[in-house]
Chains A and B, each alone.
Chain A
Amino acid sequence: MNEIITIASGTWKNVLRMKVVYFLILCALVLVASAINYDVLSMGLQKELMIDVSLVLNSIAAMLVVISLTFEIPKELREGVASTLLSKPLGRFQYLIGKMFGCIVTGAVICALIAVGSFFIFNMSFGERIGVTMFQTHLLVILALIPMSALGVLFAVLLPEVIAPIITVVVVWFAFSTKFLAGIPVLYGGILPDLDLFNFRANAVYQVQIPWMYVLLVTLWGICYAAFALSLASIVFERKDIK
């Protein structure tokens, strides 16, 4: 357990220590705030636009965190950062889990900062309270980090260093459009993820509340899918030669 926490905290400390991360968060918030200038061009939809833009930027931030993971794992393995742990019997599994948790925590912190910042800007701009659905949709962006991080870990150990980030982006991108496979068990949701299950930006804009039961179950799906991806990653990682 300690090993996992060490790896995880190493990961989030690495990212959250960088000043550029906070600069990017600030940029995102400036973009959110700029939505208010589109009142004429959108014919009075600036409020809806702001809600949506904050969610879009938050999702992109989550994606970037996962991509950074796919750069980091191969680099660490190459530099032999965790070589003592990796030589232990359970070490490799612990390393992967630690990396995944580190990524989730990093993403959660960054996304939460963007969400809270957006809520603040929204409240300042329109003097309105934050709707439950707005909160729920931002929460879902954070929860989507669970399966996304697991995918990042999987591709980082499965694929060569150069193409792992690209494939991760492509898979995450298309994982939002797997709905047409919904009739095929195992393939849908089991092997291929449906990240659109976390995507309710339109609900936030139109304030159609999401049942909390759904939020709970979709979290459960994220955990199950992460377990799937991580066990697949472990099988591959066990067999990998690490210098």
Chain B
Amino acid sequence: MKRTPIYVIILVVACVASTILAMKLNTMQHSFCPEKKDLSGSPIAGFHKFASDVKWMRLVNYLGSLNTVDESNVKQVAERLEELMKLDPNLEKIYKDGALIMSIADPDKTIEFLTTACNNQYLKNNWQIPFYAGYVMMHNAKPANYEKAAEFFEMSMKRSGSDTGASYVVSSFFRAKAKDMVQKDKSLKGDEKLALLKVLYGEWENNQKMGAEGSYRNDGANTQNLNDRLIKALKDVKVASEDYKPTSDGKKYADMVISKVFDKAHICSNCTAPYDAGEKYCSSCGTSLPVWGLCKNQACKKPLKNGNAPFCIHCGAKQK
């Protein structure tokens, strides 16, 4: 009996120490297990991951029994996916295989799920999820929200870095931007090709302003990439195709872009084919071209080697 006070002291000290420690540990675990605080609170003895495994396999089984996900069953699919997200939010397959399966039946819900995944800490380097979100926003959502889609594509670009395998992400980004511009700027009269050129030129201007540092899209590979895209867009605006007739506005804008971006690259203003020093007419379309790269010697005036050689190969005159 006389030992009871000792036990009581141990009891109180241990109780205080454990509660302090437990509270510290509870906050500490958020740093390496941030999803814990959002997990389902249902008392399943911490078997969340296991419950998720079982539910995932049951979902796969269930989806296998459906011919297609449509209005009649999309609710059930969404519910099952939501349960999974509460149990195991880091499971990439919920979003990549699960949410996308209902992108046609319920694009809004799909985007909601994918947005959650975009904000997930563990999946923060996954560039495919924001890409899918942008894709669904652009192709399945009604009405399509191109501005939001471009935001998702931009997130995807930031995450993929200069991963060359992700160049279609960049294409999608510019296309979404162009579609957004067409939607908002009525003066474009639905001219998506011109809009794309404007978007690309805007991007080029931005890069120029920011200089070498700053932009994640501004390394060598991407500048090259942007120039290629610009040339293609210029061609699209200037050259008539089956479903497109160049407009005078478009041509004017394209000439402006050529003069700003490609003043040193020497491309034909009509068909954007590059041309060499001394050429007076485009070899692809016959358009008259401003001649460049001639010898400084007034009596010679012949084209220099590569257009910029330090000495003339015809008269030997020094060029600079």
Most buried by A among B20, B22, B44, B61: B22
* A135 contacts the other chain (CB 8 A): no
* B276 contacts the other chain (CB 8 A): no
Residues of B contacting A190 in the complex (Cβ-Cβ under 8 angstroms): 15-16, 18-19, 22
Q: How far is the CA of A186 from the CA of B13 in the complex (A)?
A: 11
Residues of A contacting B10 in the complex (Cβ-Cβ under 8 angstroms): 227-228, 231
Residues of B contacting A196 in the complex (Cβ-Cβ under 8 angstroms): 36, 46
Q: Are A224 and B46 in contact (CB under 8 A)?
A: no
Residues of B contacting A199 in the complex (Cβ-Cβ under 8 angstroms): 46
Residues of B contacting A194 in the complex (Cβ-Cβ under 8 angstroms): 22, 26
Q: Are A217 and B24 in contact (CB under 8 A)?
A: yes
* A38 contacts the other chain (CB 8 A): yes
Q: How far is the CA of A102 from the CA of B92 in the complex (A)?
A: 42
A231-B11 contact given A177-B43, A202-B48, CB 8 Å threshold:
yes
Q: Mark contacts of A10-52 with chain B using CB atoms, 8 A cut-off: 1 yes-contact digit, 0 otherwise.
A: 0000000000000000000000000000100111010011001
* B311 contacts the other chain (CB 8 A): no
Q: How far is the CB of A176 from chain B (nearest CB, A)?
A: 4
Q: Are A176 and B43 in contact (CB under 8 A)?
A: yes
Q: How far is the CA of A53 from the CA of B15 in the complex (A)?
A: 34
* A221 contacts the other chain (CB 8 A): yes
* B216 contacts the other chain (CB 8 A): no
Q: Are B32 and A189 in contact (CB under 8 A)?
A: no
Q: Are B23 and A49 in contact (CB under 8 A)?
A: no
Residues of B contacting A225 in the complex (Cβ-Cβ under 8 angstroms): 14, 18, 22
CB-nearest residue of chain A relative to B48?
A202
Q: How far is the CA of A197 from the CA of B30 in the complex (A)?
A: 11
Chain A: residues with Cβ within 8 Å of the partner, total of 58
Contact partner, A224, options B7, B14, B23, Cβ 8 Å: B14
Residues of B contacting A228 in the complex (Cβ-Cβ under 8 angstroms): 10-11, 14-15, 18
Contact partner, A195, options B15, B16, B20, B46, Cβ 8 Å: B46
Chain B: residues with Cβ within 8 Å of the partner, total of 49
Q: How far is the CB of A36 from chain B (nearest CB, A)?
A: 14
Q: Are A214 and B29 in contact (CB under 8 A)?
A: yes
A214-B11 contact given A177-B41, A188-B19, A221-B21, CB 8 Å threshold:
no
Number of CB contacts from chain A to chain B under 8 A: 158
Q: Are A189 and B88 in contact (CB under 8 A)?
A: no
The segment from A1-9, A76-84, A104-112, A204-212 that touches chain B is A204-212
Q: Are B33 and A202 in contact (CB under 8 A)?
A: yes
* B192 contacts the other chain (CB 8 A): no
CB-nearest residue of chain B relative to A189?
B22
* A234 contacts the other chain (CB 8 A): yes
Q: How far is the CA of A102 from the CA of B238 in the complex (A)?
A: 85
Contact partner, B25, options A173, A186, A197, A234, Cβ 8 Å: A197
Which residues of A, 139-177, contact B by the 8 Å Cβ criterion? Answer: 172-174, 176-177
Q: Are A221 and B22 in contact (CB under 8 A)?
A: yes
* A126 contacts the other chain (CB 8 A): no
Residues of A contacting B49 in the complex (Cβ-Cβ under 8 angstroms): 52, 201-202, 205
Residues of B contacting A210 in the complex (Cβ-Cβ under 8 angstroms): 32-33
Q: Are A206 and B122 in contact (CB under 8 A)?
A: yes
Q: How far is the CA of A209 from the CA of B46 in the complex (A)?
A: 18
Q: Are A200 and B33 in contact (CB under 8 A)?
A: yes
Q: How far is the CB of B35 from chain A (nearest CB, A)?
A: 7
Residues of B contacting A185 in the complex (Cβ-Cβ under 8 angstroms): 19-20, 23
Q: Are B28 and A217 in contact (CB under 8 A)?
A: yes
Q: Are A93 and B93 in contact (CB under 8 A)?
A: no
Which residues of B, 68-98, contact A by the 8 Å Cβ criterion? Answer: 88, 90, 93, 97
Q: Are B21 and A203 in contact (CB under 8 A)?
A: no
Residues of A contacting B56 in the complex (Cβ-Cβ under 8 angstroms): 42-43, 45
Q: How far is the CA of A217 from the CA of B46 in the complex (A)?
A: 20
Q: How far is the CA of A176 from the CA of B51 in the complex (A)?
A: 15
Contact partner, B7, options A53, A205, A211, A231, Cβ 8 Å: A231
Interchain Cβ contacts under 8 Å between A and B, 7 examples: A42-B53, A177-B43, A191-B19, A201-B46, A208-B32, A211-B32, A221-B22
- Which A residues have a C-beta under 8 Å from some C-beta of B? 38, 41-43, 45, 48-49, 52-53, 56, 59, 90, 93, 172-174, 176-177, 179-180, 182, 185-191, 194-197, 199-203, 205-206, 208-211, 214, 217-218, 220-221, 224-225, 227-228, 231-232, 234-235, 238-239
- Which B residues have a C-beta under 8 Å from some C-beta of A? 1, 3-4, 7-8, 10-11, 13-26, 28-29, 31-33, 35-37, 41-50, 53, 56-57, 60-61, 88, 90, 93, 97, 122
